[in-house]
């Protein structure tokens, strides 16, 4: 079973408008509500290849209840910690005549020290072996931002416990949670280019405009030097770069019309985990992961690409071993 941790979930509320004029009152007759959050997206995508997962994190207030009901409807197994504050809402206006999206996200909910420790304890408890010596969690995914100030080191205790129990971790975050968490030696870290530059750019001098093969290889070495066993840096429809063992790959998806890029990084992680749980070699798992992200970006719905959709683009993914 794969356990996904989403400290900062969100109710994604999308309003469809033919035109979105600024400074005017607009009305819509189509509103789509989706349970959002990076770890939640990973759990959703894992349903399609039939991989068992459980989603956990914080939920609070009426919005938390709505998210829980949406997850129930989707069949996503979950075990969230309830907090006193209300979970955030993210508003996206889709101008259907142009395809342009405009998003505004509320700030994350407040989390008390007691609530934070409760979730950490829940996750760490799920990582432990049973009295019979077995355990249900095979992989741990710590994904997304933390909801409020003072929680920058939230992932650290969880990552340390996972390392001590021998459970591989995928860490997908940025900023202080990434710079602090990578030192706990997760199996994989997976920022995108913007997130890497935001986290380490001031230390390395690299900027998004400078990104290319040379910068990517240096960034992968830096992430692995901090303690990660493997590292992947994605860049939307551009090539992803990956490092594991002595090897570095450049993985390029086929060209396609992007409908909605939201959740593509999460679909990538779900695809990679599917391959790893099937004991695929690195190249096959990376190919499937990139295909999963690309298939996600081709449709509006987030993290729900079928196996047929993923496999239809997997053969067009170009793999290049640079080292």
Q: Please report, for the domain that includes residue 311, its CATH number.
A: 3.40.1190.20
Overall domain count for the chain: 1
3 within some domain: no
Pairing of strands 188-189, 88-95: unpaired
Q: Which two tokens stand for residue 28?
A: 């819509």
305 within some domain: yes
Q: Could you report the per-residue pLDDT of 272-320, keeping only the tens digit for each?
A: 999 999 999 999 999 999 999 999 999 999 999 999 999 999 999 999 9
Dump strand ranges (E) for the chain. Answer: 2-6, 10-17, 31-36, 53-60, 81-83, 88-95, 100-105, 139-143, 169-172, 188-189, 230-235, 238-244, 247-252, 318-321
For the chain, list residues with pLDDT below 70: 129-134
227 within some domain: yes
Question: What's the pLDDT score for residue 255?
Answer: 84
Question: What's the pLDDT score for residue 131?
Answer: 57
In sign, the C-alpha dihedral spanning 93, 11, 158, 74 is: negative
109 within some domain: no
How far apart CA 290 and CA 157 sit, in angstroms, is 30
Question: What's the pLDDT score for residue 132?
Answer: 55
80 within some domain: no
Q: Summarize the chain as % helix, strand, coil (round to 5).
A: 40, 25, 35
233 within some domain: yes
81 within some domain: no
How far apart CA 187 and CA 3 sit, in angstroms, is 15
Question: What's the pLDDT score for residue 133?
Answer: 62
Question: What's the pLDDT score for residue 151?
Answer: 97
206 within some domain: yes
Q: Which domain holds residue 223?
A: 40-57+114-321
Q: Report the run of H or E that residue 114 belongs to, with start and end.
A: helix 113-127
């Amino acid at each position: 079973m794969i356990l996904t941790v989403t400290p900062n979930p969100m109710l994604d509320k999308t309003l469809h408008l033919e035109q979105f004029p600024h400074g005017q009152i607009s009305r819509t007759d189509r509103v789509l509500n989706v349970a959002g959050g990076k770890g939640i997206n990973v759990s959703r995508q894992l349903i399609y290849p039939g991989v068992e997962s459980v989603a956990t994190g914080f939920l609070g207030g009426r919005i938390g209840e709505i998210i829980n009901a949406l997850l129930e409807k989707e069949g996503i197994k979950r075990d969230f910690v309830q907090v006193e504050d209300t979970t955030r809402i993210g508003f996206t206006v889709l101008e259907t005549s142009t395809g342009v999206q405009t998003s505004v996200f509320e700030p994350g909910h407040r989390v008390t020290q007691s609530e934070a420790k409760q979730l950490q304890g829940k996750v760490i408890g799920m990582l432990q072996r049973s009295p019979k010596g077995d355990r249900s969690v095979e992989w741990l995914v710590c994904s997304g931002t933390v909801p409020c100030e003072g929680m920058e080191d939230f992932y650290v205790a969880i990552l340390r416990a996972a390392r001590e129990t021998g459970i591989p971790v995928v860490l997908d975050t940025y900023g202080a949670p990434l710079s602090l968490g990578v030192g706990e030696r997760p199996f994989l870290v997976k920022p995108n280019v913007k997130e890497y530059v935001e986290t380490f750019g001031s230390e390395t001098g690299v900027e998004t405009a400078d990104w290319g093969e040379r910068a990517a290889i240096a960034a992968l070495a830096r992430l692995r030097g901090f303690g990660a066993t493997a590292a992947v840096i994605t860049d939307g429809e551009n090539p992803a770069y990956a490092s594991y063992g002595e090897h570095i790959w450049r993985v390029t998806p086929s060209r396609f019309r992007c409908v909605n890029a939201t959740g593509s990084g999460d679909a990538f992680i779900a695809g990679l985990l599917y391959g790893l749980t099937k004991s695929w070699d690195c190249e096959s798992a990376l190919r499937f992961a990139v295909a999963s992200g690309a298939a996600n970006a081709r449709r509006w719905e987030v993290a729900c690409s079928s196996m047929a959709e993923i496999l239809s683009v997997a053969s067009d993914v170009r793999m290049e071993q640079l080292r």
